[in-house]
Amino acid sequence: MLLSAIQLLLFLSLPPFLLGVINRVKARVAGRTGQPLLQPYFDLWRLLHKGAVYSTTTTWVFRAGPVVGLAAVATAGLLLSFGGAPAMLSFSGDFVLFAYLLGLARFFTALAALDTGSAFEGMGAAREVSFASLAEPALFLCLVVLARATGALSLSQMLGEGLGSAWSTSGPALLLTALALFVVALAENARIPVDDPNTHLELTMIHEVMVLDHSGPDFAFILYGAALKLFLFGALVVRLALGFHFDSPWAALLAFLGGMLVFAVVVGTVESVMARLRLSRVPQMLVGASVLSVFALVLLLR
Amino acid sequence: MSRWTDTVFILVVVIDFFALASSRLGAAIRAVAAQGALLSLLPVLLATGEHQTAHVVALALGALLVKGIAIPLMMGWAIREAAVRREVEPIVGFVPSMVLGAVGVALAFAFSGGLPLPTPEKHPLLVPTSLATVWTGLLLVVSRRKAVAQVLGFLVLENGVFVFGVLLSDFMPVMVEAGVLLDLFAAVFVMGIVMFHINREFASLDTAKLSALKD
B118 pLDDT above the threshold of 70: yes
User: Which residues does chain B have within 8 Å of residue A283's beta carbon, measured at their own beta carbons?
Assistant: 95
Which residues lie below 8 Å from residue A13, measured CB to CB, with a gap of 6+? none
Q: Which of A148, A162, A143 is nearest to A236 (CA)?
A: A143
User: Which residues does chain A have within 8 Å of residue B98's beta carbon, measured at their own beta carbons?
Assistant: 284, 287-288, 291
At residue B52 the predicted structure's pLDDT band, cuts being 50, 70 and 90, is low
Identify the weakest region by mean pLDDT among A109-123, A151-165, B45-59.
B45-59
User: Which residues does chain A have within 8 Å of residue B109's beta carbon, measured at their own beta carbons?
Assistant: 298-299, 301-302
- What pLDDT, on a 0 to 100 scale, did the predictor assign at position A28? 92
DSSP B207: G
CB contact under 8 A, A291 and B17: yes
Q: Which of B36, B83, B192 is nearest to B28 (CA)?
A: B36
- Which residues pair with residue B87 across a beta bridge? B24
Which residues lie below 8 Å from residue B173, measured CB to CB, with a gap of 6+? none
Which residues lie below 8 Å from residue A276, measured CB to CB, with a gap of 6+? A192, A193, A194, A195, A196, A204
A16 vs B209, which has greater pLDDT? Answer: A16
Given a contact cutoff of 8 angstroms between Cβ atoms, the answer to whether A187 and A194 are in contact is: yes
Name the average pLDDT for chain A.
Answer: 89
A228 pLDDT above the threshold of 90: yes
- Confirm or reject contact between A164 and chain B (CB < 8 A): no
Q: How many CA atoms lie within 13 A of A196 on its CB side?
A: 16
CB contact under 8 A, B102 and A291: yes
- Confirm or reject contact between A299 and chain B (CB < 8 A): yes
B173 vs A187, which has greater pLDDT? Answer: A187
In chain B, what are the domain boundaries? 2-212
Tell me which residue in B7, B98, B101 faces A172 most closely, judged by beta carbons.
B7
Identify the weakest region by mean pLDDT among A52-61, A157-166, B190-199.
B190-199
- What pLDDT, on a 0 to 100 scale, did the predictor assign at position A185? 93
- What pLDDT, on a 0 to 100 scale, did the predictor assign at position B62? 82
pLDDT digits (tens, 9 = 90+) for B6-34: 888 999 999 999 988 888 888 888 999 99
Contacts across the A-B interface (CB distance below 8 Å): 45
Helices (H), chain B: 2-21, 25-45, 53-63, 71-82, 94-111, 126-143, 147-167, 174-202
- What pLDDT, on a 0 to 100 scale, did the predictor assign at position B22? 84
Ramachandran bin of A89, using left for φ above 0, alpha for ψ from -120 to 50, beta for the remaining angles: beta
User: Which residues does chain B have within 8 Å of residue A172's beta carbon, measured at their own beta carbons?
Assistant: 6-7, 10
Best to test chain B binding among A174, A277, A284, A293 (most B CBs inside 10 Å): A284
A291 vs B113, which has greater pLDDT? Answer: A291
User: Which residues does chain B have within 8 Å of residue A295's beta carbon, measured at their own beta carbons?
Assistant: 10, 13-14, 17, 102, 105
- What pLDDT, on a 0 to 100 scale, did the predictor assign at position A163? 81
Q: Which of A275, A249, A215, A280 is nearest to A4 (CA)?
A: A249
A71 pLDDT above the threshold of 80: yes
CA distance B22 to B30: 11
Mean pLDDT, range A106-110, rounded to an integer: 93
- What pLDDT, on a 0 to 100 scale, did the predictor assign at position B214? 60
pLDDT digits (tens, 9 = 90+) for A188-215: 888 888 887 777 666 667 888 888 889 8
Largest distance between two CA atoms of chain A: 59
DSSP A202: T
Query: Around Cβ A110, how many Cβ atoms within 10 Å?
Result: 22
- What pLDDT, on a 0 to 100 scale, did the predictor assign at position A114? 93
Identify the weakest region by mean pLDDT among A126-135, A165-174, B30-39, B77-86.
B77-86
Handedness of CA A45, A47, A50, A56 (dihedral sign): negative
Of all residues in chain A, what percent carry a pLDDT higher than 90? 52
- What pLDDT, on a 0 to 100 scale, did the predictor assign at position B213? 63
Tell me which residue in A171, A288, A301 faces B21 most closely, judged by beta carbons.
A288
DSSP A58: -
Of all residues in chain A, what percent carry a pLDDT higher than 70? 98
**ipTM for the whole complex:** 0.81
Residue A212, SS3?
Answer: coil
Q: Which of A122, A105, A104 is nearest to A113 (CA)?
A: A122
B215 pLDDT above the threshold of 60: no
pLDDT digits (tens, 9 = 90+) for A261-277: 999 999 999 989 988 88
- What pLDDT, on a 0 to 100 scale, did the predictor assign at position B1? 54
In chain A, what are the domain boundaries? 2-301
CB contact under 8 A, A284 and B98: yes
The torsion of the CA quartet A234, A144, A248, A90, rounded to 10 degrees, works out to: 90
Name the average pLDDT for chain B.
Answer: 81
Tell me which residue in A172, A281, A298 faces B105 most closely, judged by beta carbons.
A298
A83 pLDDT above the threshold of 80: no
pLDDT digits (tens, 9 = 90+) for B120-170: 777 888 889 999 999 999 999 888 887 778 888 888 988 888 888 887 766
CA distance A15 to A21: 10
- What pLDDT, on a 0 to 100 scale, did the predictor assign at position B47? 73
At residue A183 the predicted structure's pLDDT band, cuts being 50, 70 and 90, is very high
- How much is the pTM? 0.88
B153 vs B188, which has greater pLDDT? Answer: B153
B207 pLDDT above the threshold of 80: no
- What pLDDT, on a 0 to 100 scale, did the predictor assign at position A232? 93
Mean pLDDT, range B64-76, rounded to an integer: 85
Q: Which residue of B has its CA nearest to A283?
A: B95
Mean pLDDT, range A95-112, rounded to an integer: 94
